[in-house]
Amino acid sequence: MTTPPNSWADSIGNSDVDSHGGRLTAMLDLAIGAGEVTLKYFRTGSLQVEAKADDSPVTIADRSAEQWARDAIAQAFPDDAVVGEEFSDSAGTSRYRWIIDPIDGTKSFVCGVPLYSTLLALECDGQPLGGVIQIPALGETIAAVVGRGAWYRPQPDAAWELARVSQKKSLEQSVLLTSQSDLFARRGAGDAFADLERLCWVSRTWGDGYGYMLVATGRAELMVDAICNPWDVAAMLPIMKESGGRFSDWRGNETC
């Protein structure tokens, strides 16, 4: 029996840790660090919520966590580009680009529900290199590097486990997840979602980054989102690929 790796470096292979200038190690540290910033504001009882131009909520926790990550990247990798949900893009001159969503699931966060996540992705030459989904309030983390697998850690002091999607083959056996079911009707896809929901065993709104983690670790079979911005899915792309999953449209055609 293979012993589970205790460290992130062991999971992805020590030789790969330094092949990108330490960025693969930093990727995990940055996601965890940004997540720790969010916990300073979680369930404090005095959080002010603002509405952005698209009417989505934002808080000081979102901005503080993203700013922390941006500052850390600027210090360690000053030539890298950065894209984030809360601030303007920072251009870079290197081959690398970081993509940050400090709180994926802000509505859960402001309600004190621990299913929000911190997302971080790393690209090289415009292609996905790695991604992290971190659930700060629960301590769960899943991370992946292209070609090195997706790895799940249930708690900060636990060993890393190889993550694989469910092997169920039929919708009748499947758990369907979404972040907010009413968004499909607002975008003209209400019937399509309802049809899919009827075919599945059960549907739940364990959504946002947490939903993708559940799929990548085999605890659910489908995660369907009505809206996908770059920072919403950049971390998920390598994680789903390396865990055996895929992104598709309503007809099952692979999209990325």
Element (H, E) at 37: helix 23-39
Mean pLDDT of 77-95: 93
pLDDT value of residue 1:
35
Lowest mean pLDDT among 10-14, 127-131, 186-190, 244-248: 10-14
| Range of weakest confidence among 100-104, 143-147, 181-185 | 181-185
Q: What CATH number does domain 8-162 carry, 3.40.50.300, 3.40.630.30, 1.20.1250.20, 3.30.540.10?
A: 3.30.540.10
Q: How far is it, in rounded angstroms, from Cα 120 to Cα 23?
A: 12
Q: If we measure between CA atoms, which residue out of 164, 69, 182 comes closest to residue 119?
A: 69
- In this prediction, residue 47 carries a pLDDT of 82
Tell me whether domains 8-162 and 171-243 share a fold: no
Look at 98 and 52; give whichever has higher pLDDT. 98
Mean residue pLDDT of the chain comes to 90
pTM: 0.90
Pairing of strands 96-104, 81-84: parallel
pLDDT band at 54 (very low <50, low <70, confident <90, very high): confident
Taking alpha carbons only, the member of 96, 16, 12, 100 closest to residue 64 is 100
Write down the domain spans for the chain: 8-162, 171-243
In sequence order, what are the residues at sequence separation of 6 or more whose Cβ sits closer than 8 angstroms to the Cβ of residue 213? 117, 133, 135, 140, 142, 152, 239
Query: How far apart are alpha carbons 256 and 187 in whole angstroms?
Result: 21
What is the CATH T-level fold of the domain 171-243, as seen in this structure?
D-Maltodextrin-Binding Protein; domain 2 (3.40.190)
